[in-house]
Amino acid sequence: MIRLLSATFLLSLLAIPGARADNWPNWRGPYFNGSSQEKGFPAEFSKTDGVAWQTQLPGEGASTPVVWDDAVFLTSIDAEEDGILAIRVSAKSGDIVWAKKFGEGIRHDERSTFAGSSPVTDGKLVYFLSGAGDLAAYDFDGKQIWYRNIEKDYGQFAFQWTFSSSPQLYEGTLYLQVLQRDEKVNGRGADEPIESYLLAMDPATGATKWKHVRPSEAVMESREAFSTPIPVLHDGRAEIVITGGDSISGHDPATGKEFWRWGTYNPERIGHWRLVPSPVYGEGTFLVCAPKGSPIYAIEAGGNGNLLGTSNIWTTEGKEYTADVPTPLFYDGFFYVLNGRNKFLSCLHPGSGKVVWSQQINGKVKLEASPTGVDGKIYIISHLGEVFVYSAGPDGGQLLNSTTFGQSQSVNIRASIVPANGTLFIRTDDQLYAIRK
C-alpha cells in the first residue's frame, strides 16, 4: 500500500543538535566524491535495530536516492502501468508524498531496468531520467515543470545494456553525457551517424544550451559508458569531467570545449571494455578505473591538451586494487577503492598510490554499489543487501558492523547507501529504510 501525504506537508531538517547537516543532492553527494562531512551516524544497526521507518516502494530500481531536507527522491518501475515512476518520500516519516509516472516501458534486458539513473536536485526542482531517455523536472509538490525525451531528440541510444548515466547539476546548468557505440547494437541506435556527446540544458525549461560531440578511438562496446559527469574546481578552473570510450576528459562547463584528455587504459582497443565507474577527484588527482580487473590510473589535474604519457602519476598493481563497477570514494584525504568482484576494500594515498590498508570483505555475492564515507566510517552494500561498515582513515580498515537488509531473493541491489541530515538511507530491491541513532 502506497502511503500519501498532503502536498502541504512542511519541510523539516532532520539534523542532530549541534552537528552539521548535509543534503545529498546528487548521486555522489554534496562534494561529488561519495563523502559528507556530517557527524552522528551509527555503526551498529540492523533490520530490527535502529530502523526509524521502512517503506515499500512501488517496484524495483537501482537509482541511488537523493535527499534535500525532508524530501527523498528516487525512481522505480511500475510493472502494472509498464512505466517508470518519479517518487518523493518523506525523510521524517517514510510516507510516499507523491509518485508520478514519467516514462514508458520498464526494461529491455534481463540485468537491469529503466530505473537505474539517479535523480539530481538543487532544492527547488528535481530532475529524473529513465533508461529510455525520458527526462523530467518536477517541483517539490510533484508538479511536472517540463519533459523531454533525449532519444527522440538525438536518436535512440546505442547500448548493449541499459543506459543508466545520471544527470548532473552545476552552477545553473543541467548536464547529461551519452557515451555510446557508433553503430547499432541489438537493433538499437539511431539511423543517422551515431555520436557520443555531452549535453547542457537550461534547468528551468529543459532547453538545450549546447551539445558537444565527444570523439573516441574506442571500438564496439568499449565506446559505451555508464558513468556520470563530475564537476571539479581545480586551481580556479571549473571543469566537467567524464570517462568512457577508453579515455577521461575535462570540459569547459560553459561551452563543452575539451580542455584536456588522457587515454588510453585500453591500448590494444579491446572491444568489450564498457566503462561503469565515474571519475573521482581528490588532492589534485583524478582516478580512472579501467574495466574487467585492469588497473586504476591516477591522472594529475590541471592539464591541457593531450596528456598521454605525461600525466599518469601512478597506477595500481595487484588484483585487489581495481574497480570494474563501483566508483571509488574520496574522503578526508584518501581514496577508497571497492573491488566488488574479488571483495576487497582498500585505502590509497592520493599522491603516491601507496596502499595504506586493504581488507577482504566477507560477502556472499559481488558488490556493485559505490562506497560512501561519513562520520569516520565507510558504508557499502552488496547485491544481496549485505551491509558492511568499516572505519575510515589511515588507521582504519576495521569491520564495525555486518548485517543484511536484502530479502532471500535479492540479487541486484546497486544503490549506494546515502547519509543525509542525520539519517542513513538504504535502498534494497523495492524497500527503502531509514536508519538513525
Check: CB of residue 287 under 8 Å from CB of residue 237: no
Check: CB of residue 112 under 8 Å from CB of residue 412: yes
HSE-CB of 318 using CA atoms within 13 angstroms = 11
In which residue are the cell numbers 557520443 written?
196
Q: Does domain 51-435 have CATH number 2.130.10.10?
A: yes
Check: CB of residue 388 under 8 Å from CB of residue 402: yes
- Closest of 280, 371, 323 to residue 32, by C-alpha: 280
pLDDT of residue 13: 32
Q: C-alpha grid cell for residue 251?
A: 570540459
In which residue are the cell numbers 563543452 written?
256
- For the chain, first and last CA: distance in Å? 27
pLDDT of residue 110: 76
Domain positions in the chain are 51-435
pLDDT of residue 409: 64
Per-residue pLDDT of the chain (437 residues; tens, 9 = 90+): 333 333 322 233 333 333 467 999 999 999 999 999 999 999 999 999 999 999 999 999 999 999 999 999 999 999 999 999 999 999 999 999 999 999 999 988 777 899 999 999 999 999 999 999 999 999 999 999 999 999 999 999 999 999 999 999 999 999 999 999 999 999 999 888 899 999 999 999 999 999 999 999 999 999 999 999 999 999 999 999 999 999 999 999 999 999 999 999 999 999 999 999 999 999 999 999 999 999 999 999 999 999 987 899 999 999 899 999 999 999 999 999 999 999 999 999 999 999 999 999 999 999 999 999 999 999 999 999 999 999 999 999 999 999 999 886 667 899 999 999 999 999 998 999 999 98
The neighbour count for residue 110, using CB atoms within 10 Å, is: 7
C-alpha 321/C-alpha 38 separation (Å) is 28
Could you tell me which residues come within 8 angstroms of residue 129 by beta carbon, excluding any fewer than 6 positions away? 117, 119, 135, 166, 167, 176
Q: Where are the alpha helices (DSSP H) in 127-278?
A: 150-154
C-alpha 103/C-alpha 83 separation (Å) is 5
For the chain, helix (H) and strand (E) counts, in that order, are: 1, 33
The neighbour count for residue 81, using CB atoms within 10 Å, is: 13
pTM over 0.75: yes
The neighbour count for residue 187, using CB atoms within 10 Å, is: 7
Strand order of the sheet with strand 237-244? 230-234, 237-244, 247-251, 258-262, 305-306
Sequence letter at residue 410:
S
Local structure of residue 275 (DSSP, 8 states):
B
pLDDT of residue 16: 34
Q: What is the DSSP string of 339-402?
A: ETTTTEEEEE-TTT--EEEEEE---SS---SPPEEETTEEEEE-TT-EEEEEE-STT---EEEE
pLDDT of residue 368: 96
Check: CB of residue 33 under 8 Å from CB of residue 280: yes
